[in-house]
Chains A and B, each alone.
Chain A
Amino acid sequence: MIAIVDYGAGNLISVKKALDWLGQECAITSALEDLVRASKIVLPGVGHFASTAALARLGLKGAIANAIEGGTPFLGICVGMQWMFERSQESPETSGLGLLHGECERFPASVKSPHVGWNQLEISSSSRLLRGVPSASFVYFTHSFRAPITETTVACCEYGGQFSAAVEREHVFGVQFHPEKSGTVGLKMLSNFCEL
């Protein structure tokens, strides 16, 4: 069973709908035992970085860290990916998981923010998540803060400068865009994740 982590922020239906369509057994849950049992974990996220504080409050942060430590494949989406980093300028008092180094930052004033719409991926490294996805594919973004480029970046995107669009380290994955809203390209990535 794929656990879609519910921490009271935003709308998780779209992610579930996409996994259902791919024929995957999945559940929206905030139960710690579900995370222990899960074959894979998806952490969606929309809205404010501060909302991820609920993960620590509900004990989910530790459960996710343990599951990752134990080898459970993990996918963070949007704010869920940003949370994999140490922190975000959006809410300096909220700590991320710290699995990846760096801080998420605001877009420069030279571009409209939020960054909303379809933008292109520049795939820079071989990736299990992006297998079969051509570079320059369009995916759907909606976010006001962006993650830095690090050694784990497998795809970047250009909007007022380059930022991490997808990160990957062993069985841990993060995407800034919404694969569940990115048409067939996005479904391909989710399918890659499900097949790990």
Chain B
Amino acid sequence: MSFEISRSNMLTKRIIACLDVDGGRVVKGVQFENLRDAGDPAELAQSHGESGADEIVLLDISAAHQQRATLLDTVRRSARQLFIPFTVGGGIRNLEDAAAVFSAGADKISINSAALADPTVITRIADRFGSQAVVVAIDAKRSGDGSHWEAFTYGGRAAAGRDAIVWAHEAEDRGAGEILLTSMDRDGTGIGFDCELTRAVADSVRIPVIASGGAGGAQHFVEVFREGHADAALAASIFHYGFSRLVDLKERIRSQGIPVRWPC
């Protein structure tokens, strides 16, 4: 199915700022490696919110493979003065982990490895906190022969043996409220989102799809909304290193006819 961007339907496309956190600091890698320090998560969440981010995602990228609990203190500090939607992911294995993150002030949790290992965890969290609070994150990589995209687990370290589109569909059926779709091939490259991947997933589920991985400029956002059929798009490094002010980015996207929250 396909849903056109129309003028009469004023639901805006969301621009989401992502904070990848390791050891309580925001970092951003290129293709999941070469991590660099970029600041305090609570301060960055606040400043992104003030400069027009429609939503904040905080991903504890070290958590899954180190089997470490999410940094609840970071979540608490970040959430305190944040009055836009706030999603937290990384290292959430079960309902109890999710409950702790919600108690610390998150509005949504994002799960990846745990859901691949035991898809029923999606339903358990959705039944308790509502589907709107459950984001299933999918790290997808084009297969060697280019025929499909594979879902990866543990921060991109292991292939999960699942087709990304089939998995997105199952996640929706099990109660996911949104899909956060990261192209591992594009992540950190700045050459643009994978519109083909995004469109393939967005057209096969009814829930919103957040495109991630590869943002390098305003045009990339326009492309992933138009050609990729994304409902939202996420970027991290573009904001951290002064490549672009968020408010300028939104103005550029809006000037191309994409509905965004403006002024914000």
Chain A residues in the interface with B (C-beta under 8 A): 9-11, 13-14, 17-18, 21, 46-48, 111-120, 138, 140-143, 157-160, 180-184, 186-187
Contacts and interface: CB of A to CB of B under 8 A. Distances in A.
Given A11-B133, A14-B105, A181 B207 contact: no
A183 B264 contact: yes
B226 interface: no
User: Which secondary structure dominates where chain A touches chain B?
Assistant: mixed
Contact of B132 (A116, A119, A138, A183): A116
Given A115-B11, A116-B177, A117-B11, 12 more contacts: A9-B130, A10-B130, A11-B102, A46-B129, A47-B126, A111-B3, A118-B14, A158-B8, A158-B10, A182-B84, A183-B49, A184-B83
A140 B10 contact: no
B68 interface: no
Interface in B164-212: 177-178, 206-208
Contacts of A184: 83
A183 B79 contact: no
A181 B84 contact: yes
B254 interface: no
Most buried by B among A18, A113, A114: A114
B232 A181 contact: no
B83 A180 contact: yes
Interface string B1-23: 00100001111111000000000
A59 to B, nearest CB: 22
Given A118-B12, A159-B9, A160-B9, A112 B129 contact: no
Contacts of A157: 10
Nearest to A187: B83
Given A116-B208, A181-B84, A47 B54 contact: no
B130 A182 contact: no
7 contacts: A13-B103, A14-B105, A112-B208, A114-B208, A117-B12, A118-B11, A160-B9
A9, A47, A112 — which one has the most chain B CB atoms within 10 A of its CB? Answer: A112
B162 interface: no
B137 to A, nearest CB: 16
Contact of B107 (A14, A21, A120): A14
Interface residues of B, number: 36
Contacts of B10: 119-120, 157-159
Given A48-B130, A142-B132, A112 B231 contact: yes
Please report whether the interface of chain B is mostly helix, strand, loop or mixed according to DSSP: loop
Contacts of A182: 83-84
Contacts of B3: 111-112
Interface string B129-142: 11111000000000
B261 interface: yes
Nearest to A122: B10
A16 B102 CA distance: 13
Given A9-B130, A47-B130, A117 B9 contact: no
B233 to A, nearest CB: 12
Contacts of B102: 11, 13
Contacts of B81: 21
A160 B11 CA distance: 10
Contacts of B24: none
B261 to A, nearest CB: 4
Among A114, A118, A119, which residue has the most Cβ atoms of chain B within 10 A?
Answer: A118
Contacts of A18: 83
Nearest to B79: A17
Nearest to A180: B83
Given A13-B102, A118-B54, A118-B261, A112 B79 contact: no
Which of B102, B132, B133, B208 has most A Cβ within 10 Å? B132
Contact of B105 (A17, A111, A158, A183): A17
B185 to A, nearest CB: 26
* 10 nearest CB pairs, A to B: A47-B130, A46-B130, A142-B132, A118-B261, A138-B261, A11-B102, A120-B10, A119-B11, A118-B12, A116-B208
A10 B12 CA distance: 25
A108 to B, nearest CB: 11
